[in-house]
A and B are shown apart, each in its own frame.
Chain A
Amino acid sequence: MSAEPGAGTDAGAPAERLTYEQAAGRVEEIIRRLDSGEASLQETLALVAEGKTLIEQCAGELAAVGSALEELKLDELVARLEREAGGA
């Protein structure tokens, strides 16, 4: 039981550093391990926690790109950047 919180922090810490591909790759790895049925109960719970953190990270990155394709001309972008710079 005392190893469980440790496994939780292990799941959280590397998630900060992983790129999208690394995170997605790790999730696949986790699912493979879980599907194998070889993971102990304690390991399963730790892997699930880590996987959920990673999926949330991936989903966050996708969401950060935007919700709909936006098109603007270079002049408009420059004007917007200038406004933002002026506002700041």
Chain B
Amino acid sequence: MLATMSLHTGADPAPTGGIPESALPGPYPVGRYAAKLRERLRSLARVQLLGELVNLRVARTRVYFELRDASGAIPCAAWLNDWERMLANGQAPAEGMQVVVAGGCDYYPGSASASPAFSFNVTDLRVAGEGDLLAQIDRLRKQLDAEGLLERQKRLELPTLPRSIGIVTGESGKARDDLVAALERRGWAGRLVWAFAPVQDRHAAPAIARALGDLAATRAVEVIVIARGGGSLADLLCFCDETLCRTVSMLPVPVIASVGHHTDRTLLDDVAAVSCSTPTHAAEAAVPLDCGRARAEQLAAAVRLSEHAGRALAARSRQAESAGRLSEHGRRAVLDRARRLALLSRAPAAHLDRQRGRLHQQLREIRAGARRRLGDERRLNGTRATVVGRKADATLRECRERRPRELERLVLALAAHDPQRTLERGYALVSSPAGEPVTSAAAAKASGELSLRFADGELPARAVKR
């Protein structure tokens, strides 16, 4: 084709000689050839192509990407104004999407200072319908199902209370915080192992598959959650990747898919052990036991058991008490009877004993009384002796000191009362013959015989009755 394209018309060979042995025409200046090549490529039929859009990059005036499918690829380029027109038409082409492009081959011949480039010049574009994608995904789903890969994960046992959970997610996504918050709400206090991976572009699927493999390989996580927020089907396309889905199905660790919202259904959701639509659901699936509630329930159950135990023990102690009381009653009755029998059999001896005891007691009391009285007497006598002694002393002192004075006073007093002195003053003392004083006329009359005592002697006298 290039031989026919060489077109000698107006393109003379360069003055420099060619390769002597070669049968080919030329040599021609490369720039002229490049221009002809562009002309020829542009003349090729304009067509529409279908493929996956990858390596999208927007430059100052041009937009570049590649269109690929399983058997080949074509570099594509569009003028920026064409690209913006396509976007304005409601198309939102993005990395990894299946797109249909319209255009034709083009060639930039380059220059002394710029590299040449071949591209398919895109003048129009349409994102392949979701129907197309869904049909593809559905075909793949059926394929995986036929191979039994949709069931493998579902046969794995999900731990009720894992100690360690692996999470594959984007490093800077909201999904991350939501999941941690949801796990904390469940009162779970285990170990969370993060394996970060891109969750959107064409690198996502292989990176996620690698992260899953690495997490499972540690054998230190009991369940793995793949988390990503919602998005368009195109955004979530990586979770429909065949290799990723096959990897997940073969993992020995259960995988919980928490990708997008409940309206989004990816192939991963079908392959995973559990498919969840929110981080809260994912947390519940990863830790089926609500740890906070479980703790409260345990406490409540323990309290209830204690109450029952308390009541039962109280009942038992009451029973034991009753049994004890019964046996106590029995024992006491037996003892009483035995005691009475013993009393009866020992009655005379007991009587003697009692009497002997009483006698001993009385004897003890008498002795004690005697001792007490003796002691009392002794104490009393002592006291008396002391008093007497004191009195003797006092008398002695009186005799020695006060008596002479007293005696003198008495002598004087006596002297004052001495009848002799009265008689000396002219009085006479009347007395009966027996010597009794007669102190009244009547008594003198009755006595008849009287004796009159004067100071110097006595005279007999007779009372005369007139």
A: residues with CB less than 8 A from B are 19-21, 24, 27-28, 30-31, 34-35, 41, 44-45, 47-48, 51-52, 55, 58-59, 61-62, 64-74, 77-78, 81
Interchain CB contact under 8 A, A62 and B190: no
Residues A72 and B189 in contact, CB atoms below 8 Å apart: no
Given A34-B308, A62-B161, A77-B220: A70 and B190 interface contact (C-beta under 8 Å): yes
Task: Tell whether A70 pairs with B319 under 8 Å between CB atoms, given A20-B289, A24-B294, A58-B298.
Answer: no
Chain A residues contacting B188 (CB-CB under 8 Å) are 65, 69
Instruction: Determine if B180 and A65 form an interchain contact, defined as CB atoms under 8 angstroms apart.
Output: no
Selected contact of B304 from candidates A31, A71, A77, CB within 8 Å: A31
Contacts of A47 in B (CB 8 A): 308
Give Cα A28–Cα B305 distance, bound, in whole angstroms: 10
Is residue B297 contacting chain A, with contact meaning CB distance below 8 A? yes
Contact B312 A41 (CB under 8 A): yes
Out of B163, B218, B295, B308, name the residue touching A78 (CB < 8 Å). B218
Please tell me if the beta carbons of B319 and A73 are within 8 angstroms of each other in the complex.
Answer: no
Q: Which single residue of chain A is at the shortest CB-CB distance from B294?
A: A62
* Per-position 1/0 for B314-336, Cβ under 8 A of A: 01100100000000000000000
Task: State whether A69 touches B190 (Cβ < 8 A).
Answer: yes
Q: Are B194 and A34 within 8 A (Cβ)?
A: no
A76: shortest Cβ distance to chain B, in Å?
A: 8
Chain B 278-309, CB-CB to A under 8 Å as 1, else 0, gives: 00000000000101001101100110110011
Contact partners of B161 in chain A: CB under 8 A: 20, 61-62, 65
Instruction: Report whether A67 and B189 are in contact in the complex, using a CB–CB cutoff of 8 Å.
Output: yes
Smallest CB separation, A4 vs chain B (Å) = 10
Residue of A nearest to B211 (CB): A74
User: Which B residues lie at the A interface, using CB under 8 A?
Assistant: 160-163, 166, 180, 183-184, 188-196, 211, 214-215, 218, 220, 289, 291, 294-295, 297-298, 301-302, 304-305, 308-309, 311-313, 315-316, 319
A51 to B304, CA, bound (A): 10
Instruction: Give the residues in chain B near A69, CB-CB below 8 Å.
Output: 180, 183-184, 188-190, 192
Contact of B315 among A28, A41, A48, A67 (CB under 8 A): A41
**Which residue of chain A lies nearest to B221 when distances are taken between CB atoms in the complex?**
A77
B-side contacts of A30, CB under 8 Å: 305
Contact of B305 among A20, A34, A64, A78 (CB under 8 A): A34
List of 7 A-B pairs having minimum Cβ-Cβ separation, nearest first: A44-B312, A74-B195, A48-B309, A34-B308, A66-B189, A65-B190, A51-B305
User: In the assembled complex, which residues on chain B have CB atoms less than 8 Å from the CB atom of A52?
Assistant: 302, 305, 309
Collect the chain B residues with CB atoms within 8 Å of residue A73's CB. Answer: 193-196
Partner of B295, one of A20, A62, A70, A74: A62
Contacts A66-B163, A68-B189 supplied; 11 other A-B pairs, CB < 8 Å: A20-B161, A24-B294, A28-B301, A31-B304, A48-B308, A52-B305, A62-B161, A65-B190, A66-B189, A73-B194, A74-B193
Cα distance A28–B294 in the bound complex, in angstroms: 12
Q: Check B192–A81 contact: CB distance below 8 A.
A: no
Q: Is B304 touching A34 in the complex (CB atoms < 8 A)?
A: yes
- Residues on the A chain within 8 Å of B309, using CB: 44-45, 48, 52
In the complex formed, the residue of B with least CB distance to A84 is B220
A20–B160 CA distance with the chains assembled, in angstroms: 8
In whole angstroms, what is the CA distance A37 to B105 when docked?
90
The answer for the CA separation of A40 and B411 in the assembled complex, in Å, is 118
Alpha-carbon distance between A48 and B316 when the two chains are bound, in angstroms: 14
Q: How far is the CA of A64 from the CA of B302 in the complex (A)?
A: 19
**Complex: how many Å from CA A31 to CA B183?**
30
A68: which B residues are within 8 A, CB to CB?
Answer: 189
**Which chain A residue lies CB-closest to B196?**
A73
Q: Is the CB of B160 within 8 A of A19?
A: yes
CB pair A77–B305 under 8 Å, yes or no, is no
- Could you show 30 A-B contacts with beta carbons less than 8 Å apart? A20-B160, A21-B289, A34-B304, A34-B308, A41-B319, A44-B312, A45-B312, A45-B313, A51-B301, A52-B302, A52-B309, A58-B294, A59-B298, A62-B291, A65-B163, A65-B190, A66-B189, A66-B191, A67-B189, A69-B180, A70-B191, A70-B192, A71-B180, A71-B192, A72-B192, A73-B194, A74-B193, A74-B194, A77-B218, A78-B218
Most buried by A among B220, B291, B308: B308
B208 to chain A, nearest CB (A): 13
CA distance A77 to B211 in the complex (A): 13
- Choice from A24, A45, A64, A78 contacting B316 with Cβ under 8 Å: A45
In the complex, A64 Cα to B159 Cα: how many Å? 14
Contact partners of A48 in chain B: CB under 8 A: 305, 308-309, 312
Among residues of A, the one whose C-beta sits closest to the C-beta of B219 is A81
Asked if B295 contacts A31 (CB within 8 A), the reply is no
List, in ascending order, chain A residues with CB within 8 A of B190's CB: 65-66, 69-70
Closest chain-A Cβ to B77's Cβ sits at a distance in Å of: 39
Judge whether B194 and A71 touch: CB under 8 Å.
Answer: yes
Measured CB to CB, the closest approach of chain A to B314, in angstroms, equals: 10
Instruction: List A contacts of B195 (CB < 8 A).
Output: 73-74
